[in-house]
Structure 1
């Protein structure tokens, strides 16, 4: 879809705890299935101000907060970036990571901004690029606004995917979907490389 990115002028909305109503930090961390030794490298695609990034930090060795907008990183810096977080300004379709470099990745309410578009080869979607940078067996967790929602919050419904469309994109990119839920306003998908 990728119609637009989140407006940094409205970034205060990204720090609202009511976001946990759509995806709790416990559910996100559990779905990532990180090792107990906290040594894994995880990426947050569309990290914004680091709201969900900060929730994953205690469970990972390194977290890479990836956002297309440097303004979002500036806001994250103002809030305070944890020591084990690296800020990466990049398009999810063209990531500056090596093949299999990440152990896990996630996207919270941003999948609609990059899925189905981009790709370092100019042909494939960003989900193919995500598969490239994840190690075999690595998980990609997606919580996003659903096209089946009413559109009262989040982006316009026309800019969203539903669960089945997201699953189709991920499977076409080589992921095996291990969980896919359609919720009243969002969907939640857990996929393995």
Structure 2
């Protein structure tokens, strides 16, 4: 499952405001309760579509993406001052142990979710740090997003995050997507 990247030649598609019908800004913020003194990572930030929305609510926001070309697109578009660009795979993050107060993934969990990636998230999140995920569901209709065969169900995502030491506080399957809120609980 997953482990692919979004085609940078289609990066303009990531700037489509209709994406909010699957995950609103308020819903995203509720998944990881950001505060202006916190350090947070956007996992699979792409063009910064959701990064821009979160930036006003945190102190430092790391835009993490495996494709430097996505960061180039985002830089050209213009990024808030508190956003720092990080080219990295989620399974090998350049942060210290417990450095992050929170992390979130918007429609990218299916691209990186693995035991190694979730163990790495557990390493870089502070105890009680929150992980928020909104992603395409394997149980979805498949009318948008990647093929359902490349997606995780909520149950699969819950299993993966629990195995990495997270306590799931909330999860919900929806028509096409799922949301998940988990707290790192070493």
- TM-score relative to the length of structure 1: 0.93
Cα drift, residue 136 of structure 1? 0.4
- How far apart are the structure 2 equivalents of 1:79 and 1:131? 32
Is this contact kept in 1: 2:31–2:133, CA < 8 A? no
- How far apart are the structure 1 equivalents of 2:143 and 2:70? 24
Give the aligned partner of residue 154 of structure 2: 163
> How many residues align structurally?
184
Label 1:33 to 1:148 Cα distance change in 2 as closer, same or farther (>3 A).
same
Give the aligned partner of residue 146 of structure 1: 137
- How far apart are the structure 2 equivalents of 1:5 and 1:174? 26
Cα drift, residue 21 of structure 1? 0.5
Give the aligned partner of residue 165 of structure 2: 174
Cα drift, residue 30 of structure 1? 2.1
Please give the root-mean-square deviation of Cα atoms over the aligned residues, in Å.
0.8
Cα drift, residue 4 of structure 1? 1.3
Cα drift, residue 67 of structure 1? 0.1
- How far apart are the structure 2 equivalents of 1:57 and 1:114? 23
Please list every run of 5 or more consecutive structure 1 residues that lacks an aligned counterpart in the other structure: 117-123
Q: Deviations over 1:43-81 (max 9, x none)?
A: 000000000111110000000000000010000011101
Give the aligned partner of residue 2 of structure 1: 2
Q: Deviations over 1:135-186 (max 9, x none)?
A: 0011000000000112221111111000000000000000000000000000
Query: Secondary structure of the equivalent of 1:47?
Result: coil
Give the aligned partner of residue 120 of structure 1: none
- How far apart are the structure 2 equivalents of 1:130 and 1:9? 29
Cα drift, residue 108 of structure 1? 0.4
Give the aligned partner of residue 113 of structure 2: 115
Please list every run of 5 or more consecutive structure 2 residues that lacks an aligned counterpart in the other structure: none
Give the aligned partner of residue 85 of structure 2: 87
Cα drift, residue 32 of structure 1? 1.4
